[in-house]
Structure 1
Amino acid sequence: MAQAASVEELVSQTKSKYALVVAAARRGRAIMDGYQPLVQVNATKPVTIALEEIQRGLVSVEVPPSGIK
């Protein structure tokens, strides 16, 4: 099993800490609501599973355009 990515690696992959947090929280909530995880990992926390899915490119992270207020 591959080692989990660090937060810095995920942020560099997504280019936005905010977008990463929002995507992981949304996907984690979906997993809590009954959606099946897209990966098999030993993690039990939904957000940890979501971050693994993001790392593997199975969940996209949408970065909002800059300048939105």
Structure 2
Amino acid sequence: MKLVSDARNWWRWNSTHVAAIIAVAPVAWAQMPPELKAQVPEWAMPYIAGFMFLAFLVARLRDQSA
């Protein structure tokens, strides 16, 4: 497996930040009080997940060298 040339800077990449948010989101959701969860309509959940996936793709495809 060959790593990208700036692999030691992985913690600076936007895609790493977005992936971390995606990884933590289910844990945060599980810890929320039911009253707060009730404020998010059930039909919105697939759209939220899709938005998070698109955010990851945009962050990954964007030039992160700066």
Establish whether TM, by shorter chain, passes 0.5: no
Normalising by structure 1, what TM-score? 0.30
The structure that is helix-richer by fraction is: 2
Higher relative contact order (CA closer than 8 Å, sequence separation 6+): 2
Name which one, 1 or 2, has greater alpha-carbon Rg.
2
